[in-house]
A and B are shown apart, each in its own frame.
Chain A
Amino acid sequence: MTAVTRWRYALVTFGIALLGLGGVVLLIQVDPAKYIGIAIWFLGALIIHDGIIAFVVFGIGLLMRRASKKIPFGVLVIVQAALVLGALMTAIVVPEILKKNIGTANPTILPLQYGPNLAIFYGVLAVVTAAAIALYLRLRRPEPVPARVG
Chain B
Amino acid sequence: MINGAVQRLLHEFRRALAAPSRNPRMAVVLGRLLGAAFLICFGTGLFSHFLQEPLPFMRFPTRPIFLYQLTQGIHITSGILCFPLIVAKLYSVFPELFQTPPIRGVKHALERASIALFVAASLVEITIGLLNTYQWYALFPFPFRQTHFALSFVIIGSLAIHIGIKLPVITKYWSAKTSYDANGDLIPLEREEDADGQFVPAAGELQPVGGVTGRVLGWIDRTPEPPKPKASRRAFLTTIGVVSAAIVGLTAGQSFKVLDAVNVFGPRKNGVGANALPVNRTAKAAKVLETAVAEGWTLTVTNGSASKVFTRPQLLALEQHEVQLPIACVEGWSQMASWKGPRLKDLVDSVGADAGAIIQATSLEQNSSYAVTKMGPEYARDELTLVALELNGEELDIDHGYPARLIAPGRPGVMQTKWLSSLEVLS
Contacts and interface: CB of A to CB of B under 8 A. Distances in A.
Looking at B120, B135, B163, B281, which has the most chain A CB atoms within 10 Å of its CB?
Answer: B120
Contacts of A120: 264
Contacts, number: 221
A106 B268 CA distance: 11
B105 interface: no
Contacts of B279: 106, 108
A26 interface: yes
B55 to A, nearest CB: 14
User: Is the contact region of chain A dominated by helix, strand, or loop, or is it mixed?
Assistant: helix
Interface string A27-57: 0011100111110111101100110001001
A131 interface: no
Given A42-B124, A111-B268, A73 B227 contact: yes
Interface in A66-109: 66, 68-69, 73-74, 77, 80-81, 84-85, 88-89, 91-93, 95-96, 99, 102, 104-109
Given A30-B142, A105-B285, A111-B269, A42 B120 contact: yes
Contacts of B83: 88, 91-92
B282 A105 contact: yes
A137 interface: no
B164 A8 contact: yes
Contact of B265 (A7, A30, A40, A114): A114
B266 interface: yes
B167 A8 contact: yes
Interface string B61-104: 00000000000000000001001100100110010010000000
Contact of B151 (A11, A22, A34, A81): A22
Interface residues of A, number: 74
Interface string B330-345: 0000000000000000
Contacts of B94: 54, 57-58
Given A88-B87, A89-B247, A68 B120 contact: no
A112 B265 contact: yes
B153 A41 contact: no
A96 to B, nearest CB: 6
A145 interface: no
B265 A89 contact: yes
B147 A49 contact: no
User: Is the contact region of chain B dominated by helix, strand, or loop, or is it mixed?
Assistant: helix
Contact of A41 (B128, B239, B242): B128
A108 B164 contact: no
Interface string A16-27: 111111110110
B178 to A, nearest CB: 14
A18 B13 CA distance: 35
Contacts of B160: 11-12, 14-15, 18
A61 interface: yes
A97 B386 CA distance: 38
B119 to A, nearest CB: 7
Contacts of B130: 92, 95
B167 A7 contact: yes
B203 interface: no
Nearest to B331: A109
A131 B252 CA distance: 27
Nearest to B272: A111
Nearest to B128: A41
B143 interface: yes
A111 B141 CA distance: 26
Contacts of B267: 96, 109-110
B69 to A, nearest CB: 17
Contacts of A42: 120-121, 124
19 contacts: A8-B165, A8-B167, A12-B165, A15-B160, A17-B157, A19-B161, A29-B150, A34-B147, A38-B141, A49-B90, A54-B97, A58-B94, A62-B220, A68-B224, A89-B265, A99-B134, A106-B279, A106-B399, A108-B278
